[in-house]
Amino acid sequence: MLIGTDLLWVRPGINGGTESVIRNLLKAFGEMGEEDFLLFVSEDNADSFRKYEDYPNVRLHVCNVKSAVPAKRVLWQNFCLDKLAASCKVDLMFSPIYSIPRHKKGRTPYVAVIHDMQALHYPEYFGRIRNMFFRLSWKNTCKNATHVITISDYCKDEIIGFYPGVKDRITRIYDPVDIRISCDPESARVLEKYGVKRRGYDYCVSSLLPHKNLDTLLKMKSEFRENAVPLLISGVGGRADEFGSRVRELGLEDMVFQTGFVSNEERNALYAGCRLFLFPSVFEGFGMPPVEALAFGKRVVMTKKACLEEVTKKNAVYVDDPFDPSDWNEKVIQALSLPEHVVTFPEYAPEAVAAEYLKVFRKVLDKKN
């Protein structure tokens, strides 16, 4: 079986969790070696995928398009990708995001992933055109994809609620989380870089978008300084200027620090060294960071909104009111009284998740044949 994989949308270092998901999957597909993959990449992201050609079952096809030019890339995907897939004789096309070609004329089956429906909950994050694009893409994918995959039961129920026609063609497969622990070999240097000591700071991996609810953490740090230690936040995207102004307004310049983008090794060193991992988000399709933190043995305090209690499997300490600083402070004190312990999630291991994807691919092809 030759599986074509649409990676034209990937902008390395910008797509966040979605990029991590596909890279974890590609690594697992390569290591398993059970099926062949043809990766359709763009001129400006091809180099970031070259390493996967080290696997005998993975090849790249560089397309005449750039991922950094979204309008042209979307047009190319809609009018050219399906023809290219047919000419390359792929058996199945895999789209790791919500969009498949609207002008699909061939018989190639498509399997697409809808990670979440954030734009329905937070349309203010996107302009009018992008909101329209999301809705048209979700509708087209749910109508015309041979099969749809989503990443939590919460998301599955929501998608079926909006697009009931997809009910018999949708499968929940959790995200692959690479929990093979590897830290920066100079972990002490990493902590020194950010001016913190081991077990002397709390950590959060998050963008700065409003639904991440970081303002509540700032209020807690401001109102309950007797229990406060510095808070480090790693991540990109969102409203950095507004966040910085809020930090200054609350007088937390010496307490709250943004690391910006960090490598996986540095991030892991910060996971390993923190006192608590805090995750105040009120909307996620899956939510990798608390799962990763639990795998490091960290005590996690978080909300149970959307899918978060589902994917962490009740292994964290959960606030009842995600917007109440007092509730957060109480749960922080509760978490500090608990011992650290490693939580394993074998069902999220990339090879286990990749095996579930392959089952769907084979099922789709069996029906076609």
Alpha-carbon torsion (269, 349, 172, 360), positive or negative: positive
Residue 290 and residue 356 in one domain: no
User: Looking at the structure, do residues 224 and 263 belong to the same domain, yes or no?
Assistant: yes
Q: Is the pTM of this model over 0.85?
A: yes
Residue 251, domain CATH:
3.40.50.2000
Arithmetic mean of pLDDT, 14-39: 92
Query: 277 and 314 share a domain?
Result: yes
The answer to whether position 117 is within a domain reads yes
Q: Which domain holds residue 206?
A: 187-346
Q: 236 and 154, same structural domain?
A: no
Average pLDDT over residues 302-317: 96
Give the Å distances, CA to CA, from 17 to 33, 38, 247.
Answer: 24, 22, 25
Question: Which stretches within 194-287 are classed as H helix?
Answer: 214-223, 240-249, 264-273
Domain count, the chain: 2
Same domain, 256 and 326: yes
pLDDT digits (tens, 9 = 90+) for 275-304: 999 999 999 999 999 999 999 999 999 999
What pLDDT does residue 238 have? 82
pLDDT tens for each residue of 322-337: 999 999 999 999 999 9
Q: Distance of alpha carbon 120 from its chain centroid, rounded?
A: 18
CB atoms near residue 77 (< 10 Å) = 23
Shared domain for 131 and 101, answered yes or no, is: yes
Are both 25 and 149 inside the same structural domain?
yes
Q: Are 342 and 354 within one domain?
A: no
